[in-house]
């Protein structure tokens, strides 16, 4: 094994005014010639660690050596050694592709004949040669990402730091970038790639798995998933309701974690536990266990102490929503233009009572725009949006009483306390007096908010912010729940807990519409629509969509495979604008 | 410490950004012209053509003669009324700012040289400034008429002081001539402090600063790359404003151009320094704009002596104005425009502006870190 390029010893970082330290005594190494994945949810300390290695922050204690240099003492020499792409790529949006490259080349002293040669190589490598005159702000997410990478690569860095390069980028571009970075490590570069996507972790040669400033695991991802060997199973061919089956499975002590995957239920067993009897799980006569490959996420959940169980206290408290039958949410020819840009283009779908309907697509595809039109927050340029048979632009007030909305990034009032947020949102939804007090008290109990009642919302840990946002959206017992990227950035255990609640309330008759860019979360949905560049390119149950792309090359495709194949089909059909 | 290649690259980048960003263009080129015209034409501290009611109770030749002379005055627009009650009604309704009553015994009392002033002047005390104008204009007209009458009759002029007022440096006492130099101060403040504080904060917000800090750029290059392009922009804007003021608005300019350039550079140094200090400390466009407005724009508007006379402020506030760089620039600009290169006024102003520039830029240099904290 090669000599490590970066050595971290007991690195600790504290920020003034923070509740806990951002990094707690982290020791690890980064080796040249491979990709080291820095993996963890938001708030894990990934960006802090990146910045420490880049000499942009000073560690509170501990030592860092990058190529033998101290990032603070030898800052000038260090900068010749590293290429750094910050989040959002660090590009000047009002400069063209060529001007961005020129700037970074001048800053890094890439001049003369070398410069011509390097530009030619990088432009060919990133496939940006056709776009050199285009302003960086007018590039798609994927192209920005490649330009950011090209800028970071100028001046032959030995260490390349990429901070969340996959955020805001469609899955196809993510895969392309991944291939490009693989070529680089082949030339002996050390690459640190930070990500919140656990499926990316499996592709790294080495991973540093982090959560809340602590290092949970360092090593090869296979070593971690290897611990889960023979513990991951799928229940196939089960009869009846798969959400209830999952809940029953999660109640069993042998089961550590479980998720819905299309028509099957995937279960992770505790170490040394036997599979529970399918009869006892009431899975039906045709049900059978099938072994499936363990995933990195399974190991992460075990490292965090296992999943949350299958019962939603929230759902148990909710009154059942009476079935009003048929379609409750419908979009017809829904279109939204912002100037010359069409954010949503002729979107059509219908959601039936008691369904989970998902909009799946990368950031910027038009999910949130569609969503905001459905909730009456944006006026469509064309087409109609109906909720419970009401047009939101005519009966907005009446319709909004019956729907709950959880906005992207949790639209809580950061300066208000938890108690004040609960009171405010219940008031906004028309609760008052005893009903309001009862509703607030119930949410406090269900989501264990009692000790945090007087904490301001912005100071809450991410998981509690998410719980509070959900509480605010469901307090008035809506018939329809709109959830916009509800699990973005949170750790997998909190995500499980969240889906347990969603599954629970759906069983009580609530209809749920959800957007997500996590491909695997789409599996929880009864039906999903794939959104790409403003339009729906395919819709159906998760199994139907996966079946569309299954073939001899890939008999058992994942949701991401399906998405990529469908986008490519769509583009070659000439359908993409 | 400074690599010319890197500095040139950064300055070029900054220039492209200024030219391509609509909001920078607005602040640097459109706003100055609008402000120049607002202060030049929209605000006028002279009260020309005051509307005045006139009640003639005496219809004799003397009274009519006096009424004619009032009507001819360029400072008054006379609105005749039949009775005092009508004139009072016009005043109440705001149709006039005051009225003059020529009493029935006007002609009679004029014949008796020992008698008292026979005119009644009523003005609107709710607007003291205008009321003073009414009184001053009417007594001016009255004095003028008496002199003229005496000359026509071949009599010696009436006894008492004979005032002959002349306004030096601004002979027509046009307020535009001193408001425009003040307006240029405001414009320089906006470009220097507001624009720079926004652009640096924007770099922090968009994450481009982080990318720069991870490159081999030095502190001095970082600072100079922000100072030089905005200094150039400010100087271009200064000469543009002075050009428009002199050529289009016909404001006299009596000083020399190189003095204007020198004083302008010193003021820009202090205002760029303040803008950079704000954005380096706050790193957020909204907060930076708020801080720049409060720390630079409002003092320049209210405490520089440009709109409000410093000598009429309470002593505490007067002491505060001593620390406002804009105050010294206003003084210097008004001097250069209206009086010329008057060194006893310009040198102290230049010294203070230079000191303020060194202070703010020095503090910014100290606060500029090569790291994120």
Closest among B246, B260, B185, B220 to B361, alpha carbons compared: B220
How far is the alpha carbon of B284 from chain A, nearest alpha carbon, in Å? 16
Q: Taking CB atoms and an 8 Å cutoff, what residues of chain B touch A107?
A: 6, 9-10, 212, 215-217
3-class DSSP assignment, residue A346: strand
Quick: pLDDT tens for A307-347: 787 788 888 888 887 776 788 889 999 999 988 888 889 99
Quick: pLDDT tens for B124-180: 877 777 787 788 888 888 888 888 888 887 777 766 555 555 666 666 556 677 788
Nearest residue of B to residue A78, measured between CA atoms:
B216
pLDDT for residue A408 is more than 80: no
In this prediction, residue A576 carries a pLDDT of 40
ipTM score of complex: 0.80
Contacts 24+ apart (CB under 8 A), A572-577: A575/A535, A575/A537, A576/A532, A576/A533, A577/A342, A577/A345, A577/A533, A577/A534
Closest among A320, A317, A321 to A441, alpha carbons compared: A317
Chain A CB within 8 Å of residue B314 CB? no
Q: Taking CB atoms and an 8 Å cutoff, what residues of chain A touch B212?
A: 90, 107
Secondary structure E strands in A108-263: 159-162, 190-195, 206-211, 214-219, 232-236, 255-261
Q: Taking CB atoms and an 8 Å cutoff, what residues of chain A touch B11?
A: none
Domains observed in chain A: 6-225 (3.40.50.300), 231-307 (3.30.70), 315-325+353-369+403-572 (3.40.50.300)
Instruction: Kindly list the distances between the CA atom of residue A72 and the CA atoms of A52, A54, A418, in Å, as whole numbers in the listed order.
Output: 9, 9, 40
- Find the mean pLDDT for residues A512-532: 88
Chain A CB within 8 Å of residue B224 CB? no
How far is the alpha carbon of B373 from chain A, nearest alpha carbon, in Å? 6
Tell which of B215, B217, B370 to mutate to test the A interface (max A CBs under 10 Å). Answer: B215
Nearest residue of B to residue A98, measured between CA atoms:
B13
3-class DSSP assignment, residue B114: coil
pLDDT for residue A496 is more than 80: yes
Instruction: Kindly list the distances between the CA atom of residue A77 and the CA atoms of A52, A55, A480, B220, in Å, as whole numbers in the listed order.
Output: 15, 11, 58, 17
d(CA A548, CA A528): 14
Quick: pLDDT tens for A152-203: 999 889 999 999 887 767 778 888 888 889 988 988 899 999 998 888 888 8
3-class DSSP assignment, residue A110: coil
CB within 8 Å of chain B, chain A residues 427-446 = none
Closest among B80, B78, B241, B249 to B175, alpha carbons compared: B249
Contacts of A191 (CB under 8 A, 6+ apart): A34, A35, A36, A159, A160, A162, A181, A184, A185
Quick: pLDDT tens for A217-247: 999 999 999 999 899 999 998 888 888 899 8
d(CA A49, CA A43): 11
What's the whole-number average pLDDT of chain B? 85
Q: Which two tokens stand for residue B122?
A: 């009523």
Give the containing element (helix H, strand E) for A271: none
- Tell me if B371 and A58 make a contact (CB, 8 A cut-off): yes
Give the homologous superfamily in CATH for domain B50-153: abc type-2 transporter like domain (3.40.1710.10)
Chain B CB within 8 Å of residue A150 CB? no
Chain A CB within 8 Å of residue B120 CB? no
- Residue A331: how many other CB atoms lie within 10 Å: 24
Quick: pLDDT tens for A424-455: 999 888 888 898 999 999 999 988 888 888 88
In this prediction, residue B43 carries a pLDDT of 67
In this prediction, residue A461 carries a pLDDT of 79
Chain A CB within 8 Å of residue B212 CB? yes
d(CA A428, CA A440): 13
What's the whole-number average pLDDT of chain A? 88
DSSP string across A195-221: ES-HHHHTTSSEEEEEETTEEEEEE-H
Chain B CB within 8 Å of residue A86 CB? yes
Q: Which two tokens stand for residue A461?
A: 């840990």
Give the nearest partner residue to A56 out of B3, B206, B372, using CB atoms.
B372
d(CA A526, CA A265): 13
Contacts of B212 (CB under 8 A, 6+ apart): A90, A107, B203, B222
In this prediction, residue B13 carries a pLDDT of 95
Q: What is the 3-state secondary structure (H, E, C) of A406-470?
A: ECCCCCCCCCCEHHHHHHHHHHHCCCCHHHHHHHHHHHHHHCCCHHHCCCEHHHCCHHHHHHHHH
What global pTM score does this model have?
0.81
- Find the mean pLDDT for residues A244-259: 90
Q: Which two tokens stand for residue A82?
A: 């590293």
3-class DSSP assignment, residue A385: strand
Query: Is the distance from CB of B327 to CB of B305 less than 8 angstroms?
Result: yes
- Find the mean pLDDT for residues B346-354: 94
| pLDDT bracket for residue A389 (50, 70, 90) | confident
Quick: pLDDT tens for A19-53: 778 899 999 999 999 999 999 888 889 999 999 99
Query: Is the distance from CB of A267 to CB of A201 less than 8 angstroms?
Result: no
Quick: pLDDT tens for B231-277: 999 999 899 889 988 998 888 899 999 999 999 999 999 999 999 99
Residue carrying the six token digits 């993510």: A174
Chain A CB within 8 Å of residue B138 CB? no
Query: Is the distance from CB of A151 to CB of A88 less than 8 angstroms?
Result: no
Query: Is the distance from CB of B50 to CB of B133 less than 8 angstroms?
Result: yes
Q: Taking CB atoms and an 8 Å cutoff, what residues of chain A touch B14?
A: none
- Tell me if B16 and A94 make a contact (CB, 8 A cut-off): yes
The full set of domain ranges for chain B reads 4-43+174-367, 50-153
Q: Taking CB atoms and an 8 Å cutoff, what residues of chain A touch B370?
A: 75
d(CA A573, CA A562): 16
- Tell me if A86 and B217 make a contact (CB, 8 A cut-off): no
- Tell me if B17 and A94 make a contact (CB, 8 A cut-off): yes
3-class DSSP assignment, residue B33: helix
Contacts of A477 (CB under 8 A, 6+ apart): A318, A319, A321
Residue carrying the six token digits 């495979």: A561
Chain A CB within 8 Å of residue B22 CB? no
3-class DSSP assignment, residue B367: helix
Chains A & B: contacts with CB separation below 8 Å: 81
CB within 8 Å of chain B, chain A residues 153-192 = 161
Chain B CB within 8 Å of residue A18 CB? no
| pLDDT bracket for residue A95 (50, 70, 90) | very high
pLDDT for residue A575 is more than 60: no
Chain B CB within 8 Å of residue A222 CB? no
Q: What is the DSSP letter of A279?
A: T
pLDDT for residue B337 is more than 80: yes
How far is the alpha carbon of A103 from chain B, nearest alpha carbon, in Å? 6
- Tell me if B211 and A90 make a contact (CB, 8 A cut-off): yes
Chain A CB within 8 Å of residue B215 CB? yes
Residue A383: φ, ψ to 5°: 90, 175
- Residue B252: how many other CB atoms lie within 10 Å: 14
Q: What is the 3-state secondary structure (H, E, C) of A68-103?
A: CECCCCCHHHHHHHEEEECHHHHCCCCCEHHHHHHH
d(CA B171, CA B339): 11
How far is the alpha carbon of A116 from chain B, nearest alpha carbon, in Å? 17
Quick: pLDDT tens for B322-332: 999 999 999 99
- Tell me if B371 and A55 make a contact (CB, 8 A cut-off): yes
Give the nearest partner residue to B5 out of A54, A90, A106, using CB atoms.
A106
- Tell me if A90 and B210 make a contact (CB, 8 A cut-off): yes
Q: Taking CB atoms and an 8 Å cutoff, what residues of chain B touch A79?
A: 214-216
């Amino acid at each position: 094994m090669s000599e490590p390029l970066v050595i971290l010893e007991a690195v600790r970082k504290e920020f003034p005014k923070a509740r806990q330290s951002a990094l707690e005594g982290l020791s690890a190494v980064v080796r040249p010639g491979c990709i080291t994945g820095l993996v963890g949810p938001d708030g894990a300390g990934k960006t802090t660690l990146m910045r420490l290695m880049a000499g942009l922050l000073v560690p509170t204690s501990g030592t860092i050596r990058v190529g033998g240099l101290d990032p603070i003492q030898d800052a000038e020499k260090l900068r010749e050694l590293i290429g750094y792409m910050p989040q959002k790529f660090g590009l000047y949006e009002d400069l063209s592709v060529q001007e961005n490259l020129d700037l970074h080349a001048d800053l890094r002293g890439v001049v003369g004949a070398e410069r011509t040669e390097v530009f030619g190589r990088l432009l060919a490598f990133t496939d940006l040669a056709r776009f050199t005159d285009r302003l960086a702000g007018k590039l798609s997410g994927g192209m920005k990402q490649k330009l950011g990478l090209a800028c970071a690569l100028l001046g032959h860095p030995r260490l390349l730091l990429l901070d969340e390069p996959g955020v805001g980028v469609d899955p196809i571009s993510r895969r392309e970038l991944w291939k490009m970075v693989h070529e680089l490590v082949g030339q002996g570069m050390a690459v640190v790639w930070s990500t919140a996507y656990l499926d990316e972790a499996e592709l790294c040669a080495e991973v540093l798995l982090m959560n809340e400033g602590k290092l949970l695991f360092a090593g090869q991802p296979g070593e971690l998933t290897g611990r889960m060997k023979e513990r991951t199973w799928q229940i196939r061919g089960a009869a009846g309701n798969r959400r209830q089956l999952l809940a029953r499975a999660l109640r069993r002590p042998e089961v550590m974690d479980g998720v819905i995957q299309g028509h099957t239920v995937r279960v992770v067993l505790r170490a040394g536990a036997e599979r529970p009897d399918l009869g006892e799980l009431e899975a039906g006569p045709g049900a059978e266990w099938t072994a499936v490959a363990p995933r990195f996420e399974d190991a992460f959940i075990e490292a965090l102490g296992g999943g949350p169980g299958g019962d939603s206290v929230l759902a148990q408290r909710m009154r059942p929503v009476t079935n009003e039958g048929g379609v409750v949410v419908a979009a017809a020819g829904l279109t939204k233009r912002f100037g010359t840009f069409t954010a949503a283009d002729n979107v059509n779908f219908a959601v039936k009572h008691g369904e989970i309907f998902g909009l799946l697509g990368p950031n910027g595809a038009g999910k949130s725009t569609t969503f905001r039109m459905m909730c009456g927050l944006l006026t469509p340029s064309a087409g109609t949006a109906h909720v419970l048979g009401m047009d939101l632009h005519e009966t907005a007030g009446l319709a909004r009483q019956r729907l709950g909305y959880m906005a992207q990034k949790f639209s809580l009032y950061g300066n208000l306390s938890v108690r004040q947020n609960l009171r405010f949102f219940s008031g906004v939804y028309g609760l008052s007096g005893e009903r309001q007090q009862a509703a607030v008290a119930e949410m406090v109990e269900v989501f264990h908010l009692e000790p945090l009642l007087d904490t301001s919302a912005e100071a809450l840990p991410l998981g509690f912010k998410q719980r509070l946002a959900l509480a605010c959206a469901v307090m008035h017992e809506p018939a329809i729940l709109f959830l916009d990227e509800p699990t973005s950035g949170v750790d997998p255990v909190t995500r499980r807990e969240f889906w347990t609640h969603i599954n629970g309330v759906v069983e009580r008759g609530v209809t749920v519409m959800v957007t997500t860019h996590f491909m695997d979360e789409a599996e929880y949905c009864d039906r999903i629509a794939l959104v790409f560049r403003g339009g729906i390119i395919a819709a159906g149950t998760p199994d139907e969509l996966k079946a569309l792309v299954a073939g001899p090359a890939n008999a058992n495709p994942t949701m991401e495979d399906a998405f990529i194949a469908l986008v490519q089909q769509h583009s070659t059909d000439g359908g993409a604008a | 410490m400074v690599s010319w290649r890197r500095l040139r690259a950064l300055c070029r980048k900054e220039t492209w950004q200024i030219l391509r960003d609509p909001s920078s263009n607005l602040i640097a080129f459109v706003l100055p012209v609008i402000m120049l015209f607002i202060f030049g034409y929209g605000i006028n501290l002279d009260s020309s053509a005051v509307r005045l009611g006139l009640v003639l109770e005496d219809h004799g030749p003397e009274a009519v003669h006096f009424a004619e002379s009032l009507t001819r005055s360029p400072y008054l627009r006379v609105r005749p009324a039949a009775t005092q009650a009508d004139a009072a009604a016009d005043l109440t309704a705001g149709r006039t700012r005051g009225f003059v009553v020529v009493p029935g015994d006007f002609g009679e009392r004029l014949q008796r040289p020992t008698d008292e002033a026979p005119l009644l002047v009523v003005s609107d005390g709710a607007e003291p400034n205008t009321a003073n104008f009414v009184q001053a204009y009417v007594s001016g007209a009255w004095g003028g008429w008496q002199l003229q009458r005496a000359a026509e009759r071949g009599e010696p002029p009436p006894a008492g002081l004979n005032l002959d007022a002349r306004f030096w440096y601004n002979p027509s006492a046009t307020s535009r001539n001193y408001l425009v130099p003040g307006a240029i101060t405001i414009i320089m403040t906006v470009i220097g402090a507001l624009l720079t504080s926004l652009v640096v904060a924007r770099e922090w917000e968009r994450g481009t600063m982080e990318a720069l800090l991870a490159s081999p750029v030095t502190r001095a290059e970082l600072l100079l790359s922000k100072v030089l392009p905005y200094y150039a922009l400010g100087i271009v804007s200064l000469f543009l404003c002075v050009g428009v003021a002199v050529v289009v608005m016909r404001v006299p300019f009596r000083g020399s151009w190189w003095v204007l350039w020198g004083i302008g550079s010193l003021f820009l140094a202090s205002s760029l320094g303040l803008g950079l200090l704000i954005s380096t400390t706050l790193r957020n466009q909204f907060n930076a704009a708020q801080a720049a407005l409060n720390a630079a724009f409002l003092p320049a508007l209210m405490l520089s002596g440009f709109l409000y006379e410093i000598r009429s402020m309470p002593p505490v506030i007067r002491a505060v104005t001593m620390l406002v760089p804009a105050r010294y620039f206003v003084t210097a600009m008004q001097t250069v425009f209206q009086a010329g290169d008057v060194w006893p006024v310009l040198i102290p102003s230049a010294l203070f502006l230079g000191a303020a520039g060194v202070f703010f830029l020095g503090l910014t240099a100290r606060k500029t870190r090569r790291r994120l904290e």
